[in-house]
Amino acid sequence: MFIKLPYKIVILLTFFIITGCDKTAPTFYEKSTSKQFTDVLQDIEFIITEYNFRITGRLHIGEAIQDRGIVDFPDNEVILFCNLSLAEDMLKIEPQYINYCPYKIAVFVKNNEIVLSTHLLPESTDNVNLDNIAKKINIILRSMIEYVASNDPFNVQPNTTEILEYE
C-alpha cells in the first residue's frame, strides 16, 4: 500500500506539469474603458467592418440572464466576427484552427468598468506559416480592442504597418 501511494503522486505531478506547461494555453487581451456599454458595442461594430470583417453573431448573455428575472445582473455580450480570406489561409495550414473561428470580442462589466476582451491565437507553434498568420490576426484583434477602449478614437489608428510585415 505504501509503495502505490508515491507512484500515484508521481503520476499526478507529471500530469500537472505537462498540462500546466502547454504552450497553447489561452491568452486573452483586455482593456477597460469609461465609455457607456451601448457606445462600446457601436464602436466594436464599426471597427470590425473597418478591418473588412463581418459580424456573424451576437451572444446577449447578460440580457438573457436579466430576462430570467435577475434584473441587477451586469451587461455581458460577445460579438462574433470573421474574415473568410484570413480564415481560409489559416485553415489551409491547420484545419484544427477552425476552433478559433469566428473571432470574438467579449464586453462585460467588472468592478464598475466596461472591459473588452479577445482570445488571441497561439504564436509559437511548430509551423512558421501558422505563427505568421496568428501574429497578423492578433495584431488586428489588439488594434480593435485599443480602438474601442480609447476615449479619443481619432488618436488610435489601425495598426496596418505591423500587419503588412506578415503578408
Residue-wise pLDDT for 11-56, tens only, equals 444 443 444 444 445 689 999 999 999 999 999 999 999 999 999 9
Domain boundaries, the chain: 25-165
Say if residues 109 and 37 touch (Cβ distance below 8 Å): yes
The Cα 135–Cα 165 span in angstroms is 10
DSSP at 150: -
Whether residue 140 is predicted with pLDDT greater than 70 in this model: the reply is yes
- CB within 8 A of 54, min separation 6: which ones? 48, 81, 82, 83
The C-alpha cell at 63 is: 440580457
Mean of pLDDT values over 94-99: 91
Please state which architecture CATH assigns to domain 25-165: 2-Layer Sandwich (3.30)
From start to end of the chain, where are the E strands?
Answer: 27-33, 54-59, 76-82, 103-110, 113-120
Which range has the worst mean pLDDT, 21-30, 63-72, 88-97? 21-30
**What percent of the chain stands above pLDDT 70?**
75
The most confident of the ranges 17-21, 106-110, 152-156 is 106-110
The pTM for the full model equals 0.78
pLDDT confidence of 155, banded at 50, 70, 90? low
Looking at residue 25, what is its pLDDT?
A: 54
Top-confidence residue, 12 or 107? 107
Side chain identity at residue 113, one-letter code:
E
Looking at residue 142, what is its pLDDT?
A: 96
Mean of pLDDT values over 122-142: 93
Q: Chain-wide mean pLDDT for the chain?
A: 83
Whether residue 9 is predicted with pLDDT greater than 70 in this model: the reply is no
pLDDT confidence of 61, banded at 50, 70, 90? very high
